[in-house]
Amino acid sequence: MAEVSMCSSSGSELSPDEERIMIRDIALAAQANSKEGDSFFLITQRWWQHWIEYVNQDQTNTSYDGSSLSEHCDLVNSIALKRPAGIDNSDLIDDAVSEDSGMGIEIHDTLLEGRDYVLLPQEVWNQLFRWYGGGPTLARKVISSGLSQTELAVEVYPLRLQLLMLPKNDRFAIRISKKETIGQLHKKSCEIFDLQPDQVCIWDYYARRKHALMNDMDKTLDDANLQMDQDILVEVINNTINTSFAQENGSAQRQSNSVLVEPSKSSLSIAGGLSASKGASRGYNMDLSSSQNLNSTVRDVENPYGTSGVTTRGSLGGLTGLLNLGNTCYMNSAIQCLVHTPEFARYFREDYHREINWQNPFGMVGELALAFGELLRKLWAPGRTPIAPRPFRSKLVRFAPQFSGHNQHDSQELLAFLLDGLHEDLNRVKHKPYIRSRDADGRPDEEVADENWANHISRNDSIIVDVCQGQFKSTLVCPVCNKVSVTFDPFMYLSLPLQSTTNRTMTVTVFASDGAALPSPCTVTVPKQGRCRDLIQALSNACSLKHNERLLLVEIRNHWIHRDFEDPLLLLSTIKDDDHLAAYKISKIDKNTKYLQLIHRRREQSNDSHIISGWKPYGTPIVSLISCDDTVTRGDIQVIVNRILFPLLRKGGNVEQATTSETSIPKATSDQCSFTSDDDACAANMVSNSLSKDSTNSKAPPMPTLPLLLVDDSNACIDLSMGEEKVVKLSPSSPKVLVYIDWSQKLLEKYDTHPLETLPEVLKYGPVTKKARTEPLSLYTCLEAFLCEEPLVPEEDMWNCPKCKERRQASKKLDFWRLPQVLVIHLKRFSYSRSMKHKLETFVNFPIHDFDLTNYIANKNNSRRQLYELYALTNHYGSMGSGHYTAHIKLLDENRWYNFDDSHISPISEDEVNTAAAYVLFYRRVKTDDDAVSNGA
């Protein structure tokens, strides 16, 4: 543990209020004179908060919220508090690392300003230290940062580098400011390993590879693009730089010319990130730099790219994740899609700051563009250490407070704000001219469209317009006077409504209870918010139900009837897609009848085959009606079951040999009509025979006795295979008669029960196949619904007809006139009403390649084919407000898709890209030339 000072307190002579006033005055003076190179000191938030409450104990307290120290010292507290003990920064110290390293005192890598610590100017720290003592002392330097190097910030985490000396293979870790020079790193290396300067050369040894000889002694480590925890190779040579370098990495001259530099002068690693982008401490709100300096003195930086793009170390650029700062997945997914837009990646990695519009009243004084550009450069830097986008988010919530806090937000809303905000910050038009719009007055569309586009560009000209903006042709027609108004309007992205599915497809297996046919699945379409009567009506029509029949609809679960749907008003929403439904055709003559439920059982794989408990249900139960007008015998039930199972009888099967008894049943049914007859009278006769005991025919062939068991009121099983004349006592209170049939292996040789064993789900989901392209809801369908002619919303969006001089509900038709290089498409999954919020989980089949919009262009003079290819999209999983966002992004250099899930990045196949979670799609126009295009080029 680091030692702390036990200075005696001279502050005990001062009252709390006197301490407050003194520190406030010191802080104000320090704030006015802060400059690069000054020292700031970390103090634990816990101790600082105690001191703030102590010095304000005679006034009304307001908890510390990161305001300036001068304001802070005016905070008050009505509760009497004891004077704080000595300063104790021990909770900031990583003891394990400090003891094992030679770098001195190390703080934890995950500290946050305002949560874990506060930064104090040196004068403030000195005074508190004189009063309270303690420690340990944690000093940090103020450095310049930002693209123009005029912003000041405290370097809380200096670079931590791993020095590796060859040929001895010794290792040593050091801390060094990113503003130190290569010459100073060279000097430190010589001192650590006790070497002469002319004996040593140092290499950028990123990823254990010699990337560049570091021989420009005046270049800063920041400009050399060194990363946190990076290896530096310290190579011992005999005399001077010799041909040994050329043997491995080319000549020394070539290496010195190929030193890789990050275009940003403030490229910072995540662990070495600055505590604040403007001001050394949130706690003091220090304005350490003047905003005028950003406008007047911008340091010139060389552009190392030219037209061929930048060369980066390694081939894995663009695979850096973003840490989730607390429900910020919506922001991370949108940022990654923009960052991996090739045109933006190229623009923000070049000298874009010359286009920043510092005076635009509609912009953010360039701060949003600078923050985004800085973040983009870090994400495209070599390496894959995730980045915490805190500086960017702080700028975002400053200009868009609706995104503050830790609630989940809409990724598309953030994207819309970013595109608009970046456009205004980068608008090349410094003074927007006033332009009076003109009517078409019969002029050709081409002339009017070009005029409107030129007017738009004269006021709005930025990289965002260049890349993302297109033009609509909007046609309004008055329903009264037929006045036609044509306008041409710009657009930044498309918001396509998903046609909310009002219908639902349901599959139900239909059984003929009279043995007329095998069971067959029947798929029908019903209203999504419909009721059971709608489903029964649709099934009745689909299965050609006769006039004297009705359907009994039930749910089957674990081979039993789980519930019936006798209530016609029951909502279909209570039936899930993975439920299994059966519908039984039964007679409408149901007075004084009961439902006979035939449950199928087969023997388990057991040695005790004669034990009844060894039989288990399988397959689908079959339901028929049984009349209770007269007494019911065991033989009556045998007749009904034989009729039910008739369609399952194998051809040529001798049933009598397979049954447990060869005793014929005298009460046989009439043989005057076939089981497959379609005649209504015959069907009625069959039903009558099934329900009546008086319709026996002595000429009927003998029917085999099946192994049936009747379950009585006490759940005892009665063997129905013997004593067919015996009367069966039916429960007067139960509407059903439960009968088991035990299928022996011998009996299964005569009957084929496979049709009973496969009961499909209501709606079976499967993987997306090529057939999905023909599904009704494709992206083309959504686009056509968006572009189709429709009346304006009454009252809300009425049109002032210039001819009628009245507000009219005109019809509106949209067409594309010109399309952008990058087409952003928002699928409107979220809907809002006064009482509820709803998310549509509709699967939209969107093309990844060859998204052809040629036929949707109204400008027929544009003969260029409009083909687009998907390169990125955001996904939303779960419900509104509690879901999760990810991004699928294609690295064009690698021609490979990746899933960006906050800080976690993993490769995926192209088949995994299209899911029902797709939310915002990013398409890029296919180039006609053969030039290779890179996200980062």
Residue 670 has pLDDT above 80, yes or no: no
Nearest CA to 890 among 852, 934, 826, 844?
934
Contacts of 234 (CB under 8 A, 6+ apart): 163, 164, 165, 166, 189, 193, 195, 200, 202
- List the structure tokens of 430: 């410094």
DSSP state of 728: E
Contact by Cβ (8 Å): 708, 660: no
Residue 342 has pLDDT above 90, yes or no: yes
Residue 166 has pLDDT above 90, yes or no: no
Mean local confidence (pLDDT), 537-545: 87
Nearest CA to 633 among 693, 709, 689?
693
Rounded to whole angstroms, the Cα distance separating 742 from 710 reads: 11
Residue 72 among the catalytic residues: no
Residue 588 has pLDDT above 90, yes or no: no
Determine the pLDDT at residue 370. 93
Q: How many CB atoms lie within 10 A of CB 769?
A: 7
Contact by Cβ (8 Å): 633, 772: no
**DSSP symbols for 802-816:** TTTTEEE--EEEEEE
Contact by Cβ (8 Å): 638, 706: yes
**DSSP symbols for 113-140:** BTTTEEEEEHHHHHHHHHHH-EE---EE
Mean local confidence (pLDDT), 677-701: 42
Contact by Cβ (8 Å): 885, 874: yes
Chain centroid to Cα 514, Å, comes to 53
Provide the residue type at 616 as one letter: K
pLDDT tens-digit profile of 813-839?
Answer: 899 999 999 999 999 888 654 444 677
CA angle 893, 894, 896 (to 5 degrees): 125
Buried b (16+ CB within 10 A) or exposed e, 372-387: bbbbbbbbbbbbeebb
Instruction: Record the pTM.
Output: 0.44
Residue 933 has pLDDT above 90, yes or no: no
Nearest CA to 495 among 825, 817, 844, 872?
825
State whether residue 204 is helix, strand or coil: strand
Rounded to whole angstroms, the Cα distance separating 558 from 537 reads: 27
Catalytic hit among 329, 468, 543, 801: 329
Residue 154 has pLDDT above 80, yes or no: yes
Determine the pLDDT at residue 928. 58
DSSP state of 194: T
The answer to whether the bond into 802 is cis (omega within 30° of 0) is no
Residue 271 has pLDDT above 60, yes or no: no
Expressed in angstroms, the distance from the first to the final Cα of the chain is 49
Which burial class, exposed, middle or buried, applies to 599 when counting CB atoms under 10 A from its CB (0-12, 13-18, 19+)? buried
Rounded to whole angstroms, the Cα distance separating 582 from 563 reads: 11
Contact by Cβ (8 Å): 56, 133: no
Determine the pLDDT at residue 313. 32
Which H or E run contains 542? helix 532-542
- List the structure tokens of 459: 């006021």
- List the structure tokens of 764: 């079976």
Residue 657 has pLDDT above 50, yes or no: no
Contacts of 362 (CB under 8 A, 6+ apart): 424, 427
In the chain, DSSP finds a helix count (H) and a strand count (E) of 23, 40
Contacts of 266 (CB under 8 A, 6+ apart): 144, 145, 146, 147, 149, 222, 374
State whether residue 684 is helix, strand or coil: helix
Contact by Cβ (8 Å): 94, 111: no
User: Phi and psi of 609, rounded to 5°?
Assistant: -70, -15
pLDDT tens-digit profile of 135-152?
Answer: 889 998 888 765 445 567
DSSP state of 382: S
Provide the residue type at 601 as one letter: R
pLDDT tens-digit profile of 416-436?
Answer: 999 999 999 999 998 888 888
User: Phi and psi of 856, rounded to 5°?
Assistant: -95, 0
Provide the residue type at 527 as one letter: P
Contact by Cβ (8 Å): 175, 97: no
Average pLDDT, the chain: 76
Q: Which of 274-283, 608-617, 805-814, 920-929 has the lowest mean pLDDT?
A: 274-283
737 bridge partner residues: 596
Residue 798 has pLDDT above 80, yes or no: no
Contact by Cβ (8 Å): 664, 696: no
Rg of the chain over Cα atoms, rounded to whole angstroms, equals 40
Contact by Cβ (8 Å): 81, 53: yes
Residue 804 among the catalytic residues: no
Which residue bears the tokens 């955001």? 874
Chain centroid to Cα 200, Å, comes to 51
Between residues 747 and 99, the one the model is more confident about: 747
Which H or E run contains 553? strand 549-557
- β-pair type (139-145, 39-44): antiparallel
pLDDT tens-digit profile of 219-270?
Answer: 888 777 776 777 888 888 764 433 333 333 333 333 333 222 223 322 222 2
State whether residue 378 is helix, strand or coil: helix
Rounded to whole angstroms, the Cα distance separating 1 from 105 reads: 9
pLDDT tens-digit profile of 179-230?
Answer: 889 898 989 888 888 888 888 898 888 657 777 788 888 888 877 777 677 7
Determine the pLDDT at residue 329. 92
Determine the pLDDT at residue 146. 53
Phi-psi region of 134 (alpha: psi -120 to 50; beta: other; left: phi over 0): left
pLDDT tens-digit profile of 40-90?
Answer: 999 998 899 888 888 887 664 444 444 445 445 544 444 467 888 899 988
**DSSP symbols for 290-320:** -HHHHHH-------S-TTS----SSS-TT--
Rounded to whole angstroms, the Cα distance separating 185 from 191 reads: 10
Determine the pLDDT at residue 97. 64
pLDDT band at 527 (very low <50, low <70, confident <90, very high): confident
Determine the pLDDT at residue 653. 57
Rounded to whole angstroms, the Cα distance separating 868 from 849 reads: 7
Nearest CA to 57 among 37, 79, 73?
79
Rounded to whole angstroms, the Cα distance separating 672 from 653 reads: 22
Residue 654 has pLDDT above 80, yes or no: no
User: CA neighbours within 13 Å on the CB side: how many for 499?
Assistant: 15
